[in-house]
């Protein structure tokens, strides 16, 4: 039976695992390989790992780290950061990664999606779109860790991404990143109405109730979170955690 996926999102900065707030002030929270080992034990649905240094610094994907992560992962792995060619995407898939996450490169050239999808399959191509709310309504698209504003209409961009063959869209709220006050449900509704391919939402989950609320409203959806799965308690002590089987069963009942 199809059901919503609950997806930890790990950010890589200076080869370490970090967490940001509104895409700023990365806080070191541990070693990514160790985090993956713990998530293996917790039998997570899928894991999303994003290198937030690669694109902004004009670097190639860190193939050595990717290979180590892929060898360690016992769950589907989606990896993004610095991917701007068919060759890079293919190499990452060959290392054992199930999906590649693409952002800056495909927003500048949506046709790159078609080239990559034709090579590795649409099911392995994930488009990551980072957005901020506009002052008077609507959303603005950003790349390069929220530093570069893109003059493209969000809905038109989403339509282009779907038409070019992406298999999934991750919509990431910069405003809600690390704030832990809940997802931007209006943003998710806008994306859901614009495309028919699977969507995953990221940015804002601060409790498991936020994920239950998301699934109750949108049914089959990807619920990604960072802070929720690496912090515990009001003082945000670093503690890798995930849903229990009973909570997963409760999610299924919401469908």
Name the residue ranges covered by the structural domains of the chain: 5-253
Query: How much is the pLDDT for 150?
Result: 96
Two structure tokens written together for 28 = 């070191």
Tens-of-pLDDT digits for all 255 residues of the chain? 578 999 999 999 999 999 999 999 999 999 999 999 999 999 999 999 999 999 999 999 999 999 999 999 999 999 999 999 999 999 999 999 999 999 999 999 999 999 999 999 999 999 999 999 999 889 999 999 999 999 999 999 999 999 999 999 999 999 999 999 999 999 999 999 999 999 999 999 999 999 999 999 999 999 999 999 999 888 889 999 999 988 988 887 766
How many other C-beta atoms lie within 10 A of the C-beta of residue 213? 17
**Widest CA span of the chain, in angstroms?**
47
Candidates 51, 130, 177, 184; catalytic one: 130
The pLDDT of residue 79 is 98
pLDDT at residue number 207: 95
d(CA 102, CA 85): 10
Pick the closest to residue 156 from 192, 194, 122 (CA basis): 194
Helices (H) and strands (E) in the chain, counts: 10, 14
Residue listed under structure tokens 């038109």:
156
Q: What pLDDT, on a 0 to 100 scale, did the predictor assign at position 194?
A: 97
pTM of the predicted structure, to 2 decimals: 0.96
Query: The domain 5-253: what is its CATH number?
Result: 3.20.20.70
For residue 211, the SS3 value is helix
CA 246 from chain centre, in angstroms, equals 25
DSSP alpha helices (H): ranges in 63-204?
63-72, 86-94, 104-108, 111-120, 154-163, 185-194
State yes or no: is 51 an active-site residue.
no
């Amino acid at each position: 039976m199809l059901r919503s996926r609950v997806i930890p999102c790990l950010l890589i900065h200076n080869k370490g695992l970090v967490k940001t707030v509104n895409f700023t002030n990365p806080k070191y929270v541990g070693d990514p390989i160790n985090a993956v080992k713990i998530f293996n034990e917790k039998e997570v649905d899928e894991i999303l790992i994003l290198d937030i240094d690669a694109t902004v610094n004009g670097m190639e994907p860190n193939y050595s780290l990717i290979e180590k992560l892929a060898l360690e992962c016992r769950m589907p792995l989606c990896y993004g950061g610095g991917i701007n060619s068919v060759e890079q995407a293919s190499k990452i898939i060959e290392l054992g990664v199930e999906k590649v996450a693409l952002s800056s490169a495909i927003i500048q050239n949506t046709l790159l999606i078609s080239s990559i999808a034709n090579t590795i399959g649409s099911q392995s191509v994930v488009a990551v779109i980072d957005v901020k709310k506009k002052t008077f309504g609507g959303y603005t698209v950003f790349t390069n860790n929220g530093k570069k504003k893109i003059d493209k209409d969000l809905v038109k961009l989403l339509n282009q991404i779907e038409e070019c063959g992406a298999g999934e869209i991750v919509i990431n709220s910069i405003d809600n990143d690390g704030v832990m006050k809940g997802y931007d449900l209006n943003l998710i509704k806008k994306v859901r109405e614009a495309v028919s391919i699977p969507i995953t939402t990221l940015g804002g989950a601060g409790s498991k109730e936020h994920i239950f609320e998301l699934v109750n409203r949108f049914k089959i959806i990807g619920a990604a979170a960072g802070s929720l799965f690496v912090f515990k308690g009001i003082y945000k002590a670093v503690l890798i955690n995930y849903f229990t089987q009973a909570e997963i069963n409760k999610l299924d009942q919401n469908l």
